[in-house]
Amino acid sequence: MSRQTSRAVHAADLSLTERRNPRTADIDLASAAEIVDLMAAEDALVPAAVATQRDAIARAIDIAVTTFREGGRLFYTGAGTSGRLGVLDASECPPTFGTDPEMVQGLIAGGPAALTRAQEGAEDRPEDGARDLDARGLSARDFVVGIAASAATPYVRGALARARAAGARTALVANSPPSEELGRDIDVAIVPVVGPEVVTGSTRLKSGTATKLVLNMITTGAMIRLGKTYGNLMVDLQATNAKLRSRSERMVAAVCGVSRDEARELLDAAGGAVKVAIVMHALGIGRDEAVQRLAAAGGSVRRVVPGPPPSTG
């Protein structure tokens, strides 16, 4: 076999995320500013790659909505950067959308310790992916999203196979096309192909950025469809700190056309719930009735108070 043929075969065996990037072959000779330019140019390719997955991401959003309405949960499962991104997205849902922490969960190979320090070898055990889902009481009502830049991580493969066996819905977020075998275990494949990384194999770069964008879309899209926003206002946020309490007051003041002091009083009467305060003010009703109206409308303010919220400027 010639050297040229050998190189071609070797490249074919590599996932797209493991191939060398010819545009950054001399990056070790670059100045700091040139490194910024090279990385920025590569990062600029990411949004277009994600946009090619529009239909698949929309399908994942629909599955997530159905899952939540049926009382199921969304599990992200991954190793290394992929796992950390899943845990990050899951952990942001309660403060942003007022969800129960059980509703969206992130599982990472190696457990919580892997969030801050690499757990070498943890991703190589498919049985751990299955075990971690079993420990959370996986059921057919759940939705399991595997995250693996290479589409080959054993931990993720094990989790998806276990999910399929349990009758759960499944999806894969990857940056290389999955194998035919793995494809049989997934309902939706989301594969934004961003090409070789700036530093070969460092999938925390373009692959990680693409993954973050996709996960943002899945959970945010699902929460919007569930009525967690009013227009583009996050009216189900949990005011757990001074910043969020201030944001809640500003939101109520702007939507209801009242002063900050009046907004604070409304929120107190509504038990701190922005959605309830808005409905109380708009319809001139008490807290209990506002809660009942929202429940009957599936939590959507728009279905209780017709029309869009006023512009907040």
Catalytically annotated residues: 92, 123
The helix/strand/coil state of 311 is: coil
Q: Within 13 A of 296's CA, how many CA atoms are on the CB side?
A: 9
**9-16: long-range contacts at Cβ-Cβ below 8 A with a sequence spacing of 24 or more?**
15/149, 15/150, 15/151, 15/152, 15/175, 15/176, 16/175, 16/176, 16/193, 16/195, 16/196
- Helix ranges restricted to H, 70-149: 80-97, 126-135
**In angstroms, how far is CA 8 from the centroid of its own chain?**
36
